[in-house]
Structure 1
Amino acid sequence: MKASQVIKPKEDLQIKDIEIPKPKGRQVIVKVKSSGVCHSDIHVWQGGYEGKDGKIMKVEDRGVKFPLTMGHEIAGTVESVGEDVSKFKENQHVLVYPWIGDGTCSACLVGDEHVCDNPQSLGIYQDGGYAEKVLVPDEKYLVDIEGMDSDKVCSLACSGLTAYNAVKNSKISPKQSLAIVGIGGLGLTAIQIAKALFNPTIIAIDLNDDRLKKASEVGADYTISSKSDNFLDKVKELTHNKLGPDAIIDFVNGPKTVETDLEILKKRGRLVLVGLFGGSAEINLPLLPMKNHTIIGSYTGRLADLADLVDLVKRNKVDPVVSKTFKLEDATKALNELNDGNIVGRAVLKP
């Protein structure tokens, strides 16, 4: 089969012919129809994340090995199955849960494989969906999506799941205000999920006017450019008693956005940090207890959550935004366009 692989960080991806094994036991081979292109793919491709004082945290130090077939947002059809597979059959339309753990750590034992101490995630620690086919290690990681659009549904495995978990971690309620910082694919999905589940007042914040326009279309009550004059005051004016948002989900999570988040966050507010922009931020430590702020990191989500999210899409409560599709040979172009901010919503590779 053909796969688009990262051979070395920062170099163009290369098409390689890869042998794929015959599935055994509970393993399943999925023929890939759609593979989402994610911001975290950019960090893997570039070799790392910017940490404190500009130092790069190398992905290879975290166990990533090259060459690697990236791609963790995978939708397709079952091509073949191992002898112990009972639930799924050939040609069945499926979505793949990629956040696979070792099955033995304390997180895995309670269903939190996505934060496993020894992760085995597809597209990061083992070959993923930038290919014609992918080996899924167990049928339990498949979700039935019969009759659904692969291009839209594939992003649920990361973008959608990450947004879903972030909204839940915000602990927002109907009469409260929720600010969402960064209106890319995750931000657009989070707006829809928050509206469907809790219906808070949503304030969408971004630098890009096109993204803010799209935020209004999918359900944001207010949009505001972070470039605008008196930005902090304008955000607070949109909230109850002008005290600031009850919760903020930051899909950028960069030094400037986090510092701004803490300036506008209401007393007793909750800040959910999701993005992997990188860098470090200064925090006024006495204000954390004085304002009773809660800061939490939020990363993807559970397998059970993915099934719930698929159900929301089936019921037309959430409509993932796909803005552009690319051929497998154009994976590098897709990554560059996403990195340059030219993708609104999700880009999808079509093997």
Structure 2
Amino acid sequence: MKAVRVHAYGKRPSVDDVPEPKVTGPFDVLVQVGAAGLCRTDLHIVEGQWAEKSGVQLPYVIGHENAGWVREVGAAVTNVAPGDAVILHPLVTCGLCRACRRGDDVHCESSKFPGIDTDGGMAEYLLTSARSVVKLADGLEPAAVAALADAGLTAYHAVRKAVPLLHPGSTCVVIGAGGLGHIGIQCLVAMTAARVIVVDPNPRARDLASELGAHEVVENGDGLDDSAHVVLDFVGEQGAERVGLAMTRRAGSYFVIGYGGKVDIPTIDLISTERNIIGNLVGSYTDLDELMTLAAQGRVTLHTKQYPLASVNEAMDDLEAGRLQGRGILVP
């Protein structure tokens, strides 16, 4: 099968011929990939930012936002069958540890993360587990929802955590209306009565934010200091982390979703104002199931551009240069 593999950090991946994965375990699910989302994390992987954390052996297949059709299942799988359209939770989890048993499977003690620490889904086929597959509702196609498996799930997870803080009359500032941010805006509008202000220097992104229901869109954070009950930072680098923290009011919460930068604040400023800094990883299986309900209702939709698998480096160039609005989708 064709697959996108990283051979060396600092060099773009190549499309290689590799063996198809095989079903060997009772809970294995082999998925024919219908679409794989391109994430900024994929750029960070290529740059080597994840090398120490993942410990993955090169070369390997990247791609952690995946949807497609079940091709084959293990003997104990009962929740899906060959032919079913599915979206995949990005983690393969054990289901037995304490975190899994309380529904916090993102922190599974023995998880695998296809596309991060093992072979992922920028390929024609991907091997996952029965615990990771969510059947798509009728009318949802893999290419339309694939990026919800991580970008959407991460955005939803952050909004879900912020919901109790966003009472009617509160203000939420969203930094970045790109691949994650445009999903977060829709989740906020669907799930809260807060006033949503979007900050993005890109005029096309601001136009999109307005179309998606943002109450106000601005180019930068001027005049927003100490204004927000919650800030959702979908950038997390290049100064956004400094601006985002400054926007929170006393007892406000700064949610870090994008990454690459550094949060630097004197501890006395934290305790004297009781500001909160909250990290956000990808969401749980339950989060993904709930997000797919919003997608089926048409309340969360992805703005995408499709590329053939062979054009992965063109897609990466577009993402890195800021030419890609919404989310890039690779179609095998």
For normalisation by structure 2, the TM-score amounts to: 0.94
Mapping 1:88-167, distance limit 5 Å: 88-103=80-95, 105-136=97-128, 138-145=129-136, 146-167=138-159
1:28 partner SS: strand
Task: Tell me, in whole angstroms, the C-alpha distance in 2 between the residues paired with 1:284 and 1:179.
Answer: 22
Q: Secondary structure of 2:222's partner?
A: helix
Flag the 1:329–1:255 CA change in 2: closer, same or farther, 3 A.
closer
Q: CA deviation at 1:102?
A: 4.9
Q: Is the 8 A contact 1:115 1:299 kept in 2?
A: no
TM-aligned CA distance change 1:313 to 1:279, over 3 Å: closer
CA contact 2:21–2:125 (8 Å) conserved in 1? no
Residue identity opposite 1:268 in structure 2: A
Following superposition, the deviation at residue 103 of structure 1 comes to 4.7
Q: Confirm or deny that 1:284 pairs with 2:276.
A: no
**Structure 1 residue ranges without an equivalent (≥5):** 49-57, 237-242
Q: Which position in structure 1 is the counterpart of 2:194?
A: 200
Corresponding position: 1:245 with 2:228? yes
Identity %: 31
Pairwise CA distance, 1:118: 4.7
Higher mean Cα deviation, 256-265 or 178-187? 256-265
| Matching residue of 1:275 | 258
Does the aligned pair in 2 maintain the 1:169–1:272 contact within 8 Å? no
Tell me how far 1:329 sits from its aligned partner: 0.8
Q: Distance in 2 between matches of 1:164 and 1:61?
A: 24
Out of 216, 220, 237, which is 1:222 matched to? Answer: 216
User: Which deviates more, 285-294 or 32-41?
Assistant: 285-294
Q: CA deviation at 1:61?
A: 4.8
Q: Give the corresponding residue for 1:315.
A: 297
Q: Indicate which of 318, 332, 339 corresponds to 2:313.
A: 332
Give the Cα separation in 2 of the matches to 1:255 and 1:128. 29
Counterpart of 1:10? 10
Cα distance between partner residues in 1 of 2:210 and 2:187 = 14
Q: 1:73–1:59: structure 2 CA closer, same or farther, 3 Å change rule?
A: same
1:177 aligned partner: 171
The answer to whether the 8 Å contact 2:251/2:276 transfers is: yes
Q: Does 1:343 align with 2:295?
A: no
Provide the residue aligned with 1:301 in structure 2. 283
- Give the CA RMSD over aligned residues: 1.7
Report how far residue 104 of structure 1 moved: 5.5
Deviations 1:8-29 (A, max 9, x none): 1222322222212431311111
Shift, 1:123, TM fit: 1.0
Conserved? CA contact 1:100–1:113, under 8 Å:
no
Q: Secondary structure at the match of 1:131?
A: coil
Equivalenced residue count is 328
- Gap runs ≥5 in structure 2: none
1:242-283 deviations in whole A, cap 9, x for unaligned? x5011100111126222222222111111100112x232431
Cα displacement (A) at 1:106:
4.2
1:40 alignment partner AA: T
For the 8 Å contact 2:235–2:258, the answer to whether it is kept is yes
Give the equivalent residue in structure 2 for 1:261.
244
Separation of aligned partners in 1, 2:295 and 2:53: 37
> Deviation string for 1:208-262 (max 9, x for gaps)?
1111111001111000001xxxx432x35xxxxxx50111001111262222222
Question: 1:40-65: per-residue Cα shift (whole Å, max 9, x none)?
Answer: 111111111xxxxxxxxx52453222
CA distance in 2, matches of 1:28, 1:328: 22
Q: 1:119 to 1:209 in 2, by over 3 A?
A: same
The 4+ residue runs of structure 1 with deviation greater than 6 A are none
- Number of the residue aligned with 1:64: 56
- The whole-number CA distance in structure 2 between the counterparts of 1:262 and 1:343 is 27
Query: Hey, what's the Cα distance between the residues in 2 that align with 1:71 and 1:23?
Result: 20
Kindly state the Cα deviation for residue 5 of structure 1 after the two structures are TM-superposed. Answer: 0.9
CA contact (8 A) 2:199 2:217 kept: yes
**8 Å contact 1:255–1:281 — kept in the other structure?**
no
